[in-house]
Amino acid sequence: MRLIVARCEVRYQGRVSAVLPTAVRLLILKQDGSVLVHSDAGGFKPLNWMTPRTRVTETDGLITVEKGTGARAERLEIRMEEVLSDSDHDMGEALGLEKDGVERDLQEALAAAPDVLGPGMRLVRREYPTPVGPVDLLCADAEGYVAVEVKRVGTILAVEQLCRYLEYIREDPALASCRGTLVAETMKVQARTLATSRGLATAVVDIAELRGMREPELRLFGA
């Protein structure tokens, strides 16, 4: 990884056009070809950047980063007027990031304990396919089938998505009366409202509690 602190002007032309007037900024040139231009504020996002795969050339204080060809071509030009620092660092191989609590984990926990969605609820199958993509869970209880969409945050977009799935699911005569439930760790009020007006159920769950239900013996130790 090469780190440059320099007074520079940056131009990007590709999906949009952008110009950064001259100022002192941090340039990051990664081993994989990524180039990031960061300022001392603005948080998470680089002011300008290009992701792999790139072609990087440097001549006479001008760094040119290119990507793609023809209509989809992109070009990032960094004109350095004063270099305040320029260093190289060998970082070796990095291991991956371990995450927990994302939608996938929630879906798993729910698949293992579908009865939190109602008495007698059981899992029919996960990732039940439709022409517009798979619905997270297909469940069933005494009253019939229920299509379940799982989200970390329940929004109106999730309601729309579930509606789209149901439209196709109900084309199957056996599933014509299939109900729908949106499950999320946090539910937006607007999502609940829209869901209700479309005849869908909503449920708020906690992943830690879900797992607690799956492994009740662990709770005994904690109690």
Residues that bind DNA (CB under 7 A): 12, 14-16, 18, 42-46, 48-51, 67, 74, 76, 97, 99, 102-104, 132-133, 151-153, 155-156, 161, 188-191
> Could you give the dihedral angle defined by the CA atoms of residues 218, 137, 152 and 221, in that order, rounded to the nearest 10 degrees?
0
C-beta closer to DNA: residue 38 or 141? 38
Using CB under 8 A as the binding rule, the residues of this chain from 187 to 216 that contact its own copies are none
Q: Which of 171, 181, 159 is nearest to 129 (CA)?
A: 171
Tell which one of 61, 68, 101, 129 touches its own copies (CB under 8 A).
101
Do residues 78 and 37 lie in contact, with contact meaning Cβ atoms separated by under 8 Å? yes
Binding status of residue 91 toward its own copies by CB under 8 A: yes
Picked from its own copies, DNA, none, the partner binding residue 212 (CB below 5 to 8 A depending on kind) is none
Binding status of residue 43 toward its own copies by CB under 8 A: yes
Do residues 125 and 43 lie in contact, with contact meaning Cβ atoms separated by under 8 Å? no
Binding status of residue 36 toward its own copies by CB under 8 A: yes
Spatial separation of the C-alpha atoms in residues 130 and 148, rounded to whole Å: 13
Supply 88's token pair: 């190289």
Picked from DNA, its own copies, none, the partner binding residue 5 (CB below 5 to 8 A depending on kind) is its own copies
The CA-CA-CA angle for residues 104, 110, 115, to 5°, reads 170
C-beta closer to DNA: residue 177 or 196? 196
Spatial separation of the C-alpha atoms in residues 135 and 148, rounded to whole Å: 7
Tell which one of 8, 48, 149, 183 touches its own copies (CB under 8 A).
48
Supply 178's token pair: 């299939």
Do residues 111 and 104 lie in contact, with contact meaning Cβ atoms separated by under 8 Å? no
Q: Which of 152, 205, 199 is nearest to 178 (CA)?
A: 199
Binding status of residue 38 toward its own copies by CB under 8 A: yes
Rounded to a whole number of angstroms, the minimum distance from the CB of residue 107 to its own copies is 14
Among the listed ranges 27-35, 59-67, 120-128, 143-151, the one in contact with its own copies (CB under 8 A) is: 27-35
Binding status of residue 47 toward its own copies by CB under 8 A: yes
Rounded to a whole number of angstroms, the minimum distance from the CB of residue 80 to DNA is 17
